[in-house]
Structure 1
Amino acid sequence: MATLPLATGVGWVVSPVIKLMFEKVQSYISTQYKWQSNLVDDLKKLETILTEILLVVGTAERRRTLDCNQQALLRQLKDAVYDAEDIMDEFDYMFLKANAQKRKLRSLGSSSISIAKRLVGHDKFRSKLGKMLKSLSTVKECAHMLVRVMGVENFSSHMLPEPLQWRISSSISIGEFVVGRQKEREELVHQLLEQSDKPESRSKGARSTSLEVITIVGNGGIGKTTLAQLIYNDKRIEDNFDMRAWVCVSHVFDKVRITKEILTTIDKSIDLTNFNFSMLQEELKNKITMKKFLLVLDDVWYDEKVGVPINADRWRELFAPLWHGAKVIKILVTTRMGIVANTLGCATPFCLSGLESKDSWELFRRCAFSTRDPNEHLELKSIGEHIVQKLNGSALAIKAVGGHLSSNFNYEEWNRVLKSGLSNEKDIMTILRLSYECLPEHLQQCFSFCGLFPKGYYFEPDMLVNMWIAHEFIQDRGRTYGSLTSTGKSYFDELLSRSFFQALRYGGTVHYVMHDLMNDLAVHVSNGKCYRVEANEPQEIFPEVQHLSILAERVDLLRACKLQRLRTLIIWNKERCYC
């Protein structure tokens, strides 16, 4: 996982949670029911305390960094807020239940006031509310201490700007335009076509298939996947290969999953239920018989724990069906690691460097200026040119920063990004963190939640939006499912336009994924509130985890866990997630 600066911010934002609770308390106080006076007093106290805590938490969350003591105090505040939210959820349930009973009993002459009295007089709720108020009153003192520790006089030098005039901008879908890479595209297409259009000269005893591996090697965010997409969708490639398949491999090598994805890409109607690895290989061999086949393996990693021989053997076993029956096999690989090329038998990897200066500026211009003419904004153009120089040709960083500046089109923000946001020019994670911190709080919540999903996961926007709705991440006054869904989709589109998601297009299919670096960022900023257990993760799951995803083969870990704050559980296997 890529590293982030040691001095980090607060991570998982809690301000939207407090704001939502505040709105609920206000709605309870103003309801038509005649509440018991002691409960009204408690609700008003809760309203006041939440207001004070929100001021402190909101201030802290907009700071660039917090030291260990400040983070510890802020965690106490957040924990108390989550306790209060749990009680608020319980009250919501009771309120909905009472309304349902009221509708049922109206025909029997029962009044709404009698129903309300039974609701608000609930001893258990009253007791919990009193306990929570006592806890929050104590934590309020911690909030005041946090203000003193942070030092009001230093806020201006560390705080991030409040995105007050946030707008949902018209997004340029990732993949609608690609800047540069024409030279690299032509060279690699030529390599792939060099032998695929020639008849094979076969002699007895020789292998029946021509197989060649071409490896694109480059740093994260440099544009390897985008280049591979261009090549995969090139008309010349489509015309010269009978079959094509695209598989995102990512960190965990799983020969069964990879083979299944190859087969389902070739034949979308195929049913591979109950197929073991041997059967899958036989099926693959039959499918590619007498075909010219292009296989793209995106984001391939090297397993350091097992060494070169075992890594090489794994791939040889996976490629075994490809050697028999097909006319031509070409394999295009993208990776950050040069050793992968050697492992796969690629003697001369294609090393991809950053975009050239003119292409970097053109990409930035499209993302940051959109339809505006830079020559009509000369001050911003000058700042933008200096920002581009610091991004070292990283396509992902240019898109992320450009997308942010497009929605903050003013001298102050552009100058702030230039001076304070890019201090470590070689650390792309610092740049991506800047883009995250400048998102409005509700989008920060939605993005960091996505760290639950494994790298290379294909997101279904509708399912993701429904999960955001379930956790009340969507800010929508209408509160109907239709309006919430519409707003949630606009959230997804905005994150997509800023490159927090990517749209991968190959063939006629669009898949939405998170770049590995964005996935690392989402995990990091969740600050332990979201936790993903994978095959080789440590066995300890911390009790404060609120959102958990776990590999199916490791669910036994849950038996020993006391996850009292858990709100999401996702169990996933190598093929899909179960929420």
Structure 2
Amino acid sequence: MAAALGAAATLLGKVFTMLSAAPVAAYVDSLELGHNSEQIKAKLAHTRGLLHNAQAQVSHVVDNPGLQELLPALSRNADQAEDLLDELHYFQIHDRLHATNYAATQANFLRHARNALRHTATSSWAACFSCSSAQDDSDSTSGDDELRFHRVIFSRKFKSVLQDMQTHCDSVSDLLGNIPSNSMPVAVHRPQIGSTIIQDTLYGRRHTFEETVNRITTQIETVSVLPIVGPGGIGKTTFAQHLYNDGRTEEHFQVRVWVCVSTDFDVLKLTREILACIPATEEGGSSSVANETTNLDHLQRSIVRRLKSKRFLIVLDDIWKCDGVDQWRTLLAPFTKGETKGSMLLVTTRFPKLAKMMETIDPLELLGLESNDFFTFFEACIFGEDNKPEHFEDELAGIAQKIADKLKGSPLAAKTVGRLLHKDLSQKHWNGVLEKHQWLKQQNNNDIMPSLKISYDCLPFDLKKCFSYCGLFPEDHWFTSSEINHFWVAVGIIDSNHQADRNYLEELVDNGFLMKVIQNGCVMMERNWLLESMAVLWPPTIWIK
């Protein structure tokens, strides 16, 4: 349903834009539809706005059975109107280039006919009528192989499509207008994860881990912010848990706090949670202060007093959104007032844009596990630490290696597939998993595909289209940024008139779907390698120069 809402809104937007062109609007006004072009545009804008709002509403609204029937019909109408307006625009351009009168308004056409009569002595009313009828019924450019413009047929067809579209706009608007004002946006449900280590062994990344421990224990600023960024399921939280519980970390920081943020970035709520985890002091007030007030200033002052002379580590795990720099600085403010140097905030997020906004030191970008480390971890996901069957090396190891190669080093993918393979330790079952990519069909919340799909679902509809259309090109195809933008304009994903208003490439980078790479001195972009591997949802790797 969300896709249907987005598609309908996009198509209505295209029709709205095309109706904004003066020659097109004049032609529409000449058809006497009962509404002029401005009134039609107002109705389209109203319906489009309701559709955009509906995409953020609760599921019982967007799954309305009436909308399920009306939205496809409205989209077909808008699609047909767009095609007809394209045709009209083509012939209006032809009129300007060749001084013809095929796509002129009715008033202009009659004026042209009168001028022809005035300047042609040999013309008769019969000849004029014959000429007018010919143009009116079967106007065309010269040449049998060129497009033909049938004025009457076109006008009838266009009038019918616009009237149908307006009728469906009214019906959809009526349904959407009844959305309760207190309806809340659909929330992305994320599991709450604490600091307790679930995976005792940190597979691979030992060098990165040691380097990061050194970074967080040797900072000299009052407080530093280190983002750990990477796609869903890459192991950001597991890595942060091991950092949080490392002996050197425990020794270095006098206060450690772990908060799972998820999709609810509420400064007051987070401040209260953090304060509740900081041991109370005589100067800092009672331990119950966090539950006794909703005054942000009081909470922040309590944090400042409690942390005044202490070095602290605060982990903000799984951040999905933050409304801007000011909101982030408001949360950060009490932690910058300490007298002791070297405190640290670790944040984990899958969104490079958020990491860039929050960082004070270079972020840690987690990639997939190296091949050998990943295969060791993959075996542990299937069998546990030391429970491999005797026939594994002879019968199953080769199949396991082929499957592992397809998972691109993703720990969550290894867990998903490991559970599948553990169910049946036969060659037949394992080959079936390999050949049919059965892990792509697993839909539990702790499986890889639902985790990745959340990122895709959270994209605006136009960005989903930009990303999905890249799949029309072969794997490892290279683009310049201008080429991919021209491609998006050519297929109608983005409007060329407003192309400069947004940088769609940068937005896909900000959301983690493209990654910037320096190649031979040029800034390029490549498809996120993990999303690339999930080909059933998203297309293969696309490179953008």
Give me the TM-score of the superposition, normalised by structure 2: 0.43
Whose radius of gyration is greater, 1 or 2? 2
Higher relative contact order (CA 8 A, sep 6+): 1
TM-score (norm 1): 0.41
